A and B are shown apart, each in its own frame.
Chain A
Amino acid sequence: MKSRANISRRKVLTGLSATILVPRLASAFELTDATGRAVAIPDKVEHIFPAGPPASILLYTFAPELLLGWTRNPDPPQCALLGSGACDKPEVGRLTGRGNTTNLEVLIKLKPDLILDVGTINDTYISLAKRVQDETGIPYVLLDGRFDSAAQVYRQLGELTQRQSQAEEFARYADNAIKTVKGRIDQIPDALRPTVYYARGPRGLETGLGGSINVETIEFLGAHNVAGGQHGGMATVSMEQVLAWNPDVIVTIEPAFAASVRTDSVWAPVKAVQTNRVHLSPRLPFGWVDFPPSVNRLIGLWWLAKALYPAQFPEDLRPLARDFYKQFYHLTPTEAQIDSVLAGSP
């Protein structure tokens, strides 16, 4: 094994084409990933390198032993809610996104069977996948990170690792959750759907515009994002604008903002504050609404649906959370832990 790695590194250094390396991978089959590239998949996929946080979470939920390491190590409050030795894994850095913190030589040294990225599909990421695969000789698969692709992503992961039946359990969870929630919401006439303001930042004046990944589940649930008129990512808005929007519901991930907004006279006239509909999203071990944009948002779907449409979603979230954590985070949380998570503890 060691000599193989040396050979591959020398080949990288001499700039030889990766096609020469393909035979050593003992490719079992080809998979067409979300970019339309056919990627040769080795017959044994046991160690997968996650290119970013969404891929790490996906891999960890599916099979912790597959995950080579975290993009960024979980901190102690997160570790308390992750089972299966999640926090014994090394930190491996980020391969995609705004800053590339992984050294390609280190990546080769870790000898992953596969590099997995889950997220946005655009030309930048497609070319990055191609380049890294050419430089390292390690197959690089890019899967669609959109919220409603969760089931499909699990099925593809099952195919990659030849663990189809295991993947089916996760895919079915995603399918069921989305189908059940959607089914109830589809009955609700447009006029009864609330307007929602998604608040971030210490003063709650940063928000997600229409189509941004940050408000994906809010928009998926058919609520009216007040900032949805403009498309883009995150933006700052003025307090005046929030007062003019006068949202029915405020969803936030900032504990400090959630604590202060109820007593802040500036926010007092806002409908959501007056009707006590400011909801602080649970955030452990991973955010329920926003970041990282991965399968952690599946349980958040229930929470968000209940916050937006309380009449249609009367169920207690605690058993739902317990089941989800058991299946996805490999740990059965105590009642106290669940209560603390639901309260949005940081």
Chain B
Amino acid sequence: MGRSAVPGLLIAFAVLVAGLLLAFMVGRYPVSIADLFDVVVAKLSGHNSGVPAAAQNVIFLVRGPRVLAAAMVGAALSVAGTAFQGLFRNPLVSPDLLGASSGAALGAVIGIYFSLGILEIQGLAFIGGLVAVAAVYLIGSSMSPRDPILVLVLTGVVIGALLGAGVGLMKYIADQYNQLPAMTFWLLGSLAATNVTDLVPLFGPVAIGTLVLFALRWRMNAMSLPEEEARALGVPTGLLRIAIVVAATLVTSASVATAGIIGWVGLVVPHIARTLVGPDFSRLIPAAAFLGGGFLLVIDTIARTVTPTEIPLGILTAVVGTPFFIWLLASVSKTWA
């Protein structure tokens, strides 16, 4: 708590800016940095640049939207993870704990099974995530147990397994030549198909959810105290819990609907943010957003540049996330004491 958090926040912001620059500058379509600069300046000043249309297309319609989407998805998952780790007072919690990802996955594979358009598939994924979390919350809180948090987590795990079985069933009955590969790509997470029209349905929920969580930052600080103490401080923990779950689910579902299942970001990034700026949510939330955005930008840049074909994001994040998770397990008592 005592350490100065300003340099930490600055570092996090620098990571985001570096990620944005890197992501804009490299790609499979060769655009020189001079051309990139020309095109952006020309666009801003309303002139015509001499750069070929294809390169301009790449910058504004292909790479640009994808870079923005990667930054938003990374930030959203990290903020949601930060909120959930605070809410459940557990460092090993990720934003899909209450079934948001499994619900979204089931919605998406159902959409793919019925050969719907991409917007319908994303809509079903978004709704699937919200419905799954609502179901978990209603079932979990209808039991009025002694430990509401524990029951909520257990309900999330059980419902998640059920939804996973639903995904398995859809994959099993899907057409193996056509639908199954599409489902597999979606479940592994990718931003390959992102275009301009995806940005609005992504930005809306992410912005609203993040603002709500940021507005609740002081209450979340009090919430990390034991429940009795939080109540004594005048924080209504039940309502607050619902607000946090709704906001985090909103951003998670919107991210998963756009990018598919991307694990680890929401688990790993909050911890890096915590080591940078400490446990105060007023700094932790922006730091997690900056770091998460930067992290996913780097991951997505690797995914789209290393080979002519895309590497699924879920695979890359897991490769980075697993060693970190092991380190986390080994040192968890120290960080969270």
| Residues of A bordering B, CB below 8 Å | 53, 72, 97-99, 101, 200-203, 205-207, 209, 214, 227, 229-230, 233-241, 243-244, 246, 253, 256, 265-266, 268-269, 290-293
Contact A239 B181 (CB under 8 A): no
B49 at the interface (CB under 8 A from A): no
B190 at the interface (CB under 8 A from A): yes
Choose, from B32-40, B205-213, B230-238, B305-313, the stretch at the interface.
B305-313
- A residues within 8 A CB of B54? 243, 246, 269
Which residues in window 191-207 of B have CB below 8 A to A? 192-193, 195
Contact B310 A266 (CB under 8 A): no
Contact B176 A97 (CB under 8 A): yes
20 pairs, CB–CB < 8 Å, chain A vs chain B: A72-B175, A97-B176, A203-B118, A230-B309, A236-B185, A236-B190, A237-B309, A238-B310, A239-B193, A240-B63, A240-B304, A244-B29, A244-B30, A246-B54, A265-B57, A266-B195, A268-B57, A290-B177, A291-B178, A293-B177
B172 at the interface (CB under 8 A from A): yes
Contact B57 A205 (CB under 8 A): no
CA–CA, A2 to B24, complex, Å?
Answer: 71
- B61, B177, B185, B304 interface centre (most CB from chain A within 10 Å): B177
Which residues in window 79-130 of B have CB below 8 A to A? 117-118, 121
- A residues within 8 A CB of B28? 238, 240-241, 244
Q: How far is the CB of B152 from chain A (nearest CB, A)?
A: 35
CA–CA, A241 to B63, complex, Å?
Answer: 11
Residue of A nearest to B190 (CB): A236
Contact B310 A237 (CB under 8 A): yes
B326 at the interface (CB under 8 A from A): no
Q: Which of A241, A243, A253, A268 contacts B308 (CB 8 A)?
A: A241
Contact B308 A227 (CB under 8 A): yes
Contact B181 A99 (CB under 8 A): no
Residue of A nearest to B56 (CB): A269
Residue of A nearest to B193 (CB): A203
Contact B192 A265 (CB under 8 A): no
Residue of B nearest to A256 (CB): B117
Contact A237 B57 (CB under 8 A): no
CA–CA, A243 to B308, complex, Å?
Answer: 12
B62 at the interface (CB under 8 A from A): yes
- A99, A202, A239, A256 interface centre (most CB from chain B within 10 Å): A239
CA–CA, A97 to B195, complex, Å?
Answer: 34
Contact A237 B192 (CB under 8 A): yes
- B residues within 8 A CB of A227? 308-309
- A residues within 8 A CB of B182? 201-202, 206
Q: How far is the CB of B317 from chain A (nearest CB, A)?
A: 16
- B residues within 8 A CB of A206? 181-182, 185
- A residues within 8 A CB of B61? 265-266
Contact A201 B193 (CB under 8 A): yes
Contact B307 A230 (CB under 8 A): yes
CA–CA, A262 to B325, complex, Å?
Answer: 46
Contact B192 A238 (CB under 8 A): yes
Residue of A nearest to B119 (CB): A202
CA–CA, A200 to B179, complex, Å?
Answer: 10
Contact B177 A235 (CB under 8 A): no
Residue of B nearest to A239 (CB): B62
CA–CA, A97 to B193, complex, Å?
Answer: 28
Residue of A nearest to B31 (CB): A240
Residue of A nearest to B309 (CB): A235
Q: Which of A229, A237, A240 contacts B58 (CB 8 A)?
A: A240
Contact A239 B309 (CB under 8 A): no
Which residues in window 22-78 of B have CB below 8 A to A? 27-30, 52-54, 57-58, 61-63, 66
B180 at the interface (CB under 8 A from A): yes
Contact A266 B57 (CB under 8 A): yes
CA–CA, A157 to B119, complex, Å?
Answer: 46
- A residues within 8 A CB of B185? 201, 206, 236
Contact B121 A202 (CB under 8 A): yes
CA–CA, A230 to B28, complex, Å?
Answer: 15
Q: What 10 A-B pairs come out closest when comparing CB atoms?
A: A291-B177, A235-B309, A269-B54, A240-B29, A241-B28, A236-B310, A203-B193, A244-B29, A239-B62, A202-B118
CA–CA, A66 to B132, complex, Å?
Answer: 48
CA–CA, A292 to B117, complex, Å?
Answer: 22
- Contacts known (A206-B181, A243-B54, A266-B61); A237 close to B308, Cβ less than 8 A: yes
- A residues within 8 A CB of B190? 236
Q: How far is the CB of A49 from chain B (nearest CB, A)?
A: 19
